């Protein structure tokens, strides 16, 4: 499953971008028949489901040929037991104490967040391909939870001080290109005015806001690591004040925050000049947010210097 973009630059689309990025394909050994068989024998809604069983169910769903609506209905039903299972395994693996651990519980938790994200991404992609598109409420639920579960992934990885699974950021950037650009400027396929989805002003703001929240959280996680929770109070306000811009006209400028859509990474600060071949967005966080990051990095550098001097003594 891939996301295609036009070779011709589109308003709002990163200049010169010609990407075809794969949304994570199922990594399980399920064949289509065995996936369908498992999905026919699911636990009843409200049943307590083990993390291992949830992983099996999500892998089966990812490998199935269900349409977007059927997928999302199942994901809606599984969200509560999934979060409950993650809370249980987190409580037993240092969630409340902040203890770093690599036990089975933490592995289950990370896989559940990742699989939920991948299934939501697959459902949104199928809906975009017009395979029985969900109604506006169900589609909004899918988009909202896509970003919600990616935030869970960031917090989980930071808490354990481990990287996100390979491809996580690239998947997010790839799908966000479709969501942000199609929301800003509904495209007409083959010149048809009816081909693009109608997204109101609030829908555009909501999609971009959620993407910017995740991008800012990715920056916070790099600096504060296990102290993420202490720096989230202003996240939504910072996201509202953050601009996500096309790089056109910014070539040569220094000190920009870049979102490289081909890179499997969160945003980064580019100290050198922006090159003409950059493919991605330019992020303009509010000054208050940047000052917070700068202050934390200066404090870390100062503490590191003190430790070095103490060691030499």
Mean pLDDT of 172-190: 72
Q: What is the pLDDT of residue 133?
A: 64
Shared domain check, 247 and 166:
no
User: Residues 244-288: pLDDT tens digits?
Assistant: 998 989 999 999 999 998 899 999 999 899 999 898 999 999 999
Shared domain check, 256 and 189:
no
Shared domain check, 294 and 207:
no
Shared domain check, 287 and 165:
no
Shared domain check, 165 and 123:
yes
Boundary of a domain, candidates 218, 240, 262: 240
User: Residues 62-116: pLDDT tens digits?
Assistant: 988 888 898 999 999 899 989 998 888 765 555 444 444 555 557 889 999 999 9
User: At residue 301, does pLDDT exceed 60?
Assistant: no
Scored b (16 or more CB within 10 A) or e, 93-124 reads bbbeeeeeeeeebbbbbbbbbbbbbbbbbbbb
Shared domain check, 131 and 268:
no
Shared domain check, 48 and 6:
yes
Shared domain check, 56 and 203:
yes
Structure tokens at 107: 């592995």
Please tell me the least confidently modeled range out of 117-121, 189-193, 291-295. 189-193
Residue 118 · residue 165 · CB < 8 Å: no
Number of domains in the chain: 2
Please tell me the least confidently modeled range out of 23-27, 102-106, 192-196. 192-196
Shared domain check, 101 and 41:
yes
Average pLDDT of the chain? 76
Boundary of a domain, candidates 188, 209, 240: 240
- Give the confidence band of 203 by pLDDT, cuts at 50, 70, 90: low
* Coil, strand or helix at 118: helix
User: At residue 220, does pLDDT exceed 70?
Assistant: yes
Shared domain check, 269 and 144:
no
Q: What is the pLDDT of residue 21?
A: 43
Shared domain check, 18 and 138:
yes
What length does the chain have? 313
Which helix (H) or strand (E) segment is 33 a member of?
helix 32-39
Half-sphere exposure of 111 (CA within 13 A, CB side): 20
Which among 96, 201, 82 has a CA at the least distance from the CA of 152?
Answer: 82
Q: What is the pLDDT of residue 103?
A: 52
Boundary of a domain, candidates 240, 259, 286: 240
Shared domain check, 303 and 208:
no
**pTM score above 0.85:** no
Q: What is the pLDDT of residue 88?
A: 82
Structural domain boundaries, residue 246:
242-312
User: At residue 117, does pLDDT exceed 90?
Assistant: yes
User: At residue 43, does pLDDT exceed 70?
Assistant: no
Please tell me the least confidently modeled range out of 112-116, 158-162, 214-218. 158-162
Q: What is the pLDDT of residue 115?
A: 96
What gap in Å lies between CA 309 and CA 293, rounded to an integer?
Answer: 25
Give φ, ψ of 12 to 5 degrees.
Answer: 90, -15
């Amino acid at each position: 499953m891939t996301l295609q973009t036009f070779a011709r630059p589109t308003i709002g689309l990163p200049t010169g971008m010609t990407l075809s990025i794969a949304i994570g394909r199922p990594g399980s050994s399920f064949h289509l028949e065995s996936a369908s068989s498992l999905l026919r024998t699911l636990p009843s809604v409200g049943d307590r489901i083990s993390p291992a069983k949830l992983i099996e169910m999500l892998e089966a769903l990812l490998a199935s040929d269900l349409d977007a609506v059927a997928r999302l209905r199942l994901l809606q039903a599984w969200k509560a037991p999934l979060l409950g299972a993650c809370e249980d395994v987190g409580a037993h693996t240092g969630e409340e104490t902040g203890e770093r651990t690599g036990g089975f519980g933490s592995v289950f938790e990370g896989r559940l967040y990742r699989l939920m994200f991948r299934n939501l991404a697959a459902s949104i992609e199928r809906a975009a391909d017009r395979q029985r598109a969900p109604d506006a409420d169900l589609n909004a639920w899918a988009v909202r939870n896509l970003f919600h579960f990616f935030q869970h992934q960031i917090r989980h990885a930071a808490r354990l001080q481990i990287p996100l699974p390979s491809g996580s950021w690239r998947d997010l950037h790839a799908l966000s290109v479709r969501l942000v650009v199609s929301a800003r400027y509904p495209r007409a396929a083959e010149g048809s005015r009816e081909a693009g989805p109608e997204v109101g002003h609030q829908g555009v703001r909501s999609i971009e806001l959620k993407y910017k929240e995740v991008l800012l959280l990715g920056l916070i996680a790099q600096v504060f690591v296990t102290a993420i929770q202490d720096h989230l109070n202003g996240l939504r306000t910072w996201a509202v004040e953050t601009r996500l811009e096309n790089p056109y006209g910014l070539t040569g400028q220094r000190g920009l925050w870049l979102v490289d859509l081909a890179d499997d990474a969160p945003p980064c600060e580019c100290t050198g000049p922006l090159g003409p071949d950059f493919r991605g967005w330019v992020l303009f966080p509010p000054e208050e947010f940047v000052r917070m990051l700068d202050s934390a990095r200066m404090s870390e550098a100062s503490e590191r210097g003190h430790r070095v001097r103490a060691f030499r003594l």
